């Protein structure tokens, strides 16, 4: 594995058409929205979930690419794997790492080496079977829609009922009404950061970085569902620094990526072609390179 020697920032644009990109369970699964501005939001953990799912599909259990935070996983059982592999005994009270510093380090590094998402995003593994805490080199913030969104609540009909009792009440009509939320169209912008010094601590390497770029580009292709409508990664813009610590502040690089409307501000956007995404290449600071990967 090749050591990561550069800091990175990236901007990912993705869109949704007639779907719910990230429902809020505390609001009846309505699309998440900033109540002050009306802009839609997608959480960082939602995006990380899709990266995890893509890696799991692609690698299918290959050594070093297992997924720690997996659907229906029991995390303590995953933590026990490290102790068994290293022939160590967990603390009886289940609260402390091994007493020897080198053994504690080996346990945490085993988790990083075996689970892609641990060495990428980090993890808090200080549960009953303590494997330490890892600060991941790859971090993302909430995605925000470019324009305010107007969620729509749509009525739907199921031509069946669940029980015989329901059928009797309806005299055999057997219809069930339901509702679902959709966003007719929205383009979302997500921003992320990759730290080379933190990558050195977790073992996140150049090969993992290439897998991350592929995952961000392809993660919606295997995540289609009726609830999410049509979602696609549209553009991935990457800023690469010459040094490990970076050559320019992240916010200045993000400010170089702007979005405008190609169909005019008066009509609502209904397709990706209604937007123009530009990068002010002339203003990129010295020591930073920009690449459009999607």
Domain presence at residue 161: no
pLDDT at residue 260, rounded to an integer: 95
Total of domains in the chain: 2
**Residue 3, strand partner residues:** 205
User: Cα(172)–Cα(164) distance, rounded to whole angstroms?
Assistant: 9
How far is C-alpha 28 from the chain's CA centre? 22
Alpha-helical segments (H) within 87-135: 101-114, 116-121
216 closest CA partner among 68, 48, 97: 48
189 token code pair: 């912008």
Q: What is the DSSP letter of 208?
A: H
b/e sequence 6-36, b meaning 16+ C-beta within 10 Å:
bbbbbbbbbbbbebbbbbeeeeeeebbbeee
Q: Which residues contact 247 (CB under 8 A, 6 or more apart)?
A: 241, 285, 286, 287, 288
User: Cα(194)–Cα(9) distance, rounded to whole angstroms?
Assistant: 6
**pLDDT per residue as tens, the chain (294 positions):** 799 999 999 999 999 999 999 999 999 899 999 999 999 999 999 999 999 999 999 999 899 999 999 988 999 999 999 999 999 988 877 678 999 999 999 999 999 999 999 999 999 999 889 999 999 999 999 999 999 999 999 988 888 888 888 888 888 788 878 889 999 999 999 999 999 999 999 999 999 999 999 999 999 999 999 889 899 999 999 999 999 999 999 999 999 999 999 987 788 999 999 999 999 999 999 999 999 998
202 and 280 inside one domain: yes
22 closest CA partner among 192, 218, 223, 260: 223
Domain carrying residue 288: 1-43+142-148+184-294
188 and 293 inside one domain: yes
How many Cβ atoms are within 10 Å of 159's Cβ, its own excluded? Answer: 8
204 and 292 inside one domain: yes
119 and 206 inside one domain: no
Domain presence at residue 159: no
pLDDT at residue 94, rounded to an integer: 64
| 3-class DSSP assignment, residue 143 | strand
User: Cα(167)–Cα(110) distance, rounded to whole angstroms?
Assistant: 56
């Amino acid at each position: 594995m090749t050591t990561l020697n550069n800091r990175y920032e990236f901007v990912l644009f993705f869109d949704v058409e007639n779907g719910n990109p990230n429902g809020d369970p505390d609001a009846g699964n309505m699309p998440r929205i900033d109540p002050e501005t009306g802009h839609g939001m997608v959480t960082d953990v939602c995006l990380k979930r899709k990266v995890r799912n893509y890696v799991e599909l692609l690698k299918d259990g290959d050594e070093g690419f297992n997924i720690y935070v997996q659907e229906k996983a029991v995390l303590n059982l995953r933590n026990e794997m490290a102790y068994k592999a290293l022939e160590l005994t967990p603390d009886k009270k289940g609260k402390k790492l091994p007493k020897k510093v080198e053994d504690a380090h080996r346990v945490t590094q085993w988790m990083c080496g075996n689970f892609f998402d641990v060495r990428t995003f980090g993890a808090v593994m200080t549960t009953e079977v303590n494997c330490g805490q890892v600060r991941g080199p790859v971090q993302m913030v909430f995605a925000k829609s470019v324009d305010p969104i107007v969620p729509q609540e749509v009525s739907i009909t199921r031509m069946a009922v669940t029980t015989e009792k329901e059928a009797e009440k309806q005299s055999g009509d057997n219809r069930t009404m339901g509702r679902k939320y959709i966003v007719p169209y929205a383009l979302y912008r997500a921003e992320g950061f990759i730290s080379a010094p933190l990558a050195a601590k977790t073992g996140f390497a150049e090969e993992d970085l290439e897998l991350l770029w592929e995952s961000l580009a392809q993660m919606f292709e295997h995540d289609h569902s009726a609830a999410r409508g049509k979602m696609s990664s549209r553009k991935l813009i990457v800023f690469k620094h010459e040094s490990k610590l970076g050559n320019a502040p992240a916010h200045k690089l993000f400010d170089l990526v702007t979005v405008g409307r190609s169909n005019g501000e008066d009509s609502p956007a209904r397709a990706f072609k209604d937007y123009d995404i530009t990068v002010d290449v002339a203003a990129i600071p010295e020591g930073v390179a920009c690449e459009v990967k999607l």
